[in-house]
Amino acid sequence: MLNIKTLEFLNKQIALEGNASATYLAMASWCERQGLKGCATFFYDQSSEERMHMMKIIHYINEMDGHAIIPHQEKPKADYDSIQELFKIVYEQEKEVTAAIYNLLSISQAENDHSTTLFLQWYVAEQREEESQIRDILDAIKLIGTGGQSLFFIDQEVAKINAQKEEEDLFEDEE
């Protein structure tokens, strides 16, 4: 059984994960329209992952005899000035989600809710991975610069990250 405060913040987290999924989907669509195939694939995959994060919380709340509330979805930004802007937005968004997870964790610990504390450990690790990945992409963008063919090279770099992720996922599936 979840206490009222933990339930309230878990429900807030559903909204955050859902909004992250929608934002990534909007970014994927924008990238696809720009011919940035590597970036589009990256954001489509991220969008699916965020939806999965949201679903995990919905199932967890209901399993714990709470009521998972499906939130109103904010309309994500549709247009971006540059690929640099887009990844900077993503980084800030991920940092906000991490802060929300930490806050939720502090609440569950204060309430001696060991089950939720354990459940949230997965999200802590996931956020660390996501933030590190976005920082790597931002570093690559900085190195490549904004010269003539920079978009092409940035897209290639992101495509390499997609391939690496795919390999890691396969490896995890085999374990």
Applying CB under 6 A, which residues contact ligand OFO?
17, 20, 50, 53, 94, 97, 126-127, 130
Go through 102-124 and write b for each residue having 16 or more CB atoms within 10 A of its CB, e for each that does not: eebbebbeeeebeebbebbeebe
CB-wise, 136 or 143, nearer to ligand OFO?
Answer: 136
CB-wise, 88 or 151, nearer to ligand OFO?
Answer: 88
The DSSP output letter for 127 is H
CB-wise, 45 or 126, nearer to ligand OFO?
Answer: 126
CB-wise, 6 or 127, nearer to ligand OFO?
Answer: 127
The DSSP output letter for 80 is -
To ligand OFO, the closest distance from the beta carbon of 32 in angstroms equals 21
To ligand OFO, the closest distance from the beta carbon of 91 in angstroms equals 11
Task: Give Rg (Cα) of the chain.
Answer: 18
The DSSP output letter for 75 is P
Axis-axis angle for helices 114-144, 83-110 (nearest 10): 160
To ligand OFO, the closest distance from the beta carbon of 149 in angstroms equals 30
To ligand OFO, the closest distance from the beta carbon of 14 in angstroms equals 11
Question: What is the 3-state secondary structure of 85-100?
Answer: HHHHHHHHHHHHHHHH
